[in-house]
Amino acid sequence: MNLLYNLLKRINLIRFRCKGVSCDMTNSLSFRHVTVITGKRNMGGVFLKKRAEISADCFLVAKDRIEIGENSTLAFRVTILTTANPNAPYNLLKNIYQPVSKPVIIGDNVWIGACSVILPGVTIGNMSVVAAGSVVTKDVPPHVLVAGVPARIIKNI
């Protein structure tokens, strides 16, 4: 049984490395139904540190870098965006809302709750929690719980 689990884990890792996910074999990953969209070769990508976990149905748009720290967890249906673009050059809103492409950095020992959305350019500090259903629009300091739309600090941890 353990041999089969390790084989399936290795197949998943190879499959996701082809999509731009970089990680090592010490990661505990749950890559069922995870969508990863990356930019051109050598641009963007998802970088997982040791024991980082991505749960099922997550959606990662990694046109720029997404880094997930050690022991951090993305719960079910988390969305991380590194780009925002109103269909430029075709949509006239591009004149008001310039296309954005910025990395998302998630620190160590972070828990991102189910159905949360992390927007481009956000850094989440170590030992922080993002409550389920939150929309994170700006940086989160270390050792806090944030919640809401947009996410605000609820308490220190």
The pLDDT of residue 119: 97
As a whole number, mean pLDDT of residues 140-153 equals 98
Which CATH class for the 2-156 domain? mainly beta
Place 82 in a pLDDT band, splitting at 50, 70 and 90. very high
Residue 112 has pLDDT above 90, yes or no: yes
Which residue in 52, 101, 54 sits closest to 81, CA to CA? 101
- CA-CA distance, 55 to 24, in Å (whole number)? 17
Q: What residue spans define the domains of the chain?
A: 2-156
Which residue in 15, 56, 62, 11 sits closest to 36, CA to CA? 62
Residue 153 has pLDDT above 70, yes or no: yes
Residue 13 has pLDDT above 70, yes or no: no
Q: Tell me the per-residue pLDDT of 56-73, one tens digit each, with 9 for 90 and over.
A: 899 999 989 999 999 999
